[in-house]
């Protein structure tokens, strides 16, 4: 299987999602499709029920419009995610809302799995409110980042094991 065929892209409205694992296509396109032979790590859908939610914002730390000018001169524009760390429970569908608060800067969200393999990629256009439901199927520490603003724009998601009853 080639790299391009092992990853699938889809358009959910204007939201572009690429995943490795399982991803639900829009209702008009059909049912859930397996996108990789790799063991499923995370499922991502645009709709459905979530039992938890979080808002992940893009933040301007230092930009040309507001400065500080010396910081921008030395490092260029600097952005970050807020929060940079959060915890979710394994097999608990969690809605993550991505707010890109910048009127003139695009961002993206890339979720990395074991060995830094890309699991999910989302486009975050300027002034956007993008929402997706993530269901993690393996406990662990996952890194996320904006590939457009490295090395400063990143964070981590800790997936804890589901409580046994």
Query: Residue 39 — very low, low, confident or very high, per pLDDT cuts 50/70/90?
Result: low
d(CA 79, CA 64): 12
Place of tokens 């094991």: 161
In the chain, % of residues over pLDDT 90: 61
Neighbours of 42 (CB within 10 A): 21
On the question of a cis peptide bond just before residue 83, with omega within 30 degrees of 0, the verdict is: yes
Distance of CA 6 to the CA centre of its chain: 19
Question: What's the CATH fold of domain 31-160?
Answer: Immunoglobulin-like (2.60.40)
Q: For residues 102 and 148, is the Cβ–Cβ distance under 8 A?
A: no
Question: How much is the average pLDDT of 9-31?
Answer: 33
Residue 118: exposure state from Cβ atoms within 10 A (0-12, 13-18, ≥19): middle
The pLDDT tens digits for 88-124 are 999 999 999 999 999 999 999 999 988 888 999 999 9
Question: Would you list the domain boundaries of the chain?
Answer: 31-160
Q: What is the pTM of this model?
A: 0.76
d(CA 94, CA 48): 10
């Amino acid at each position: 299987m080639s790299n391009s065929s092992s990853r699938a892209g889809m358009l959910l409205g204007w939201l572009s999602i690429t995943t490795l694992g399982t991803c639900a296509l829009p209702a008009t396109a059909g049912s859930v499709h397996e996108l990789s032979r790799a063991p499923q790590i995370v499922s991502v859908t645009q709709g459905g029920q979530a039992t938890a939610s979080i808002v992940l914002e893009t933040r301007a730390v230092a930009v040309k419009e507001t400065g500080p000018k010396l910081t921008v001169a030395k490092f260029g524009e600097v952005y970050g995610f807020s929060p940079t760390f959060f915890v979710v429970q394994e097999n608990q569908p969690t809605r993550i809302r991505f707010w890109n608060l910048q009127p003139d800067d695009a961002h993206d969200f890339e979720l990395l799995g074991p060995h830094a393999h890309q699991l999910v990629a989302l486009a975050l256009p300027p002034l956007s409110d993008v929402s997706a439901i993530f269901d993690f199927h393996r406990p662990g520490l996952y890194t996320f980042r904006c590939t457009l603003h490295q090395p400063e724009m990143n964070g981590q998601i800790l997936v804890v094991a589901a409580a046994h009853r």
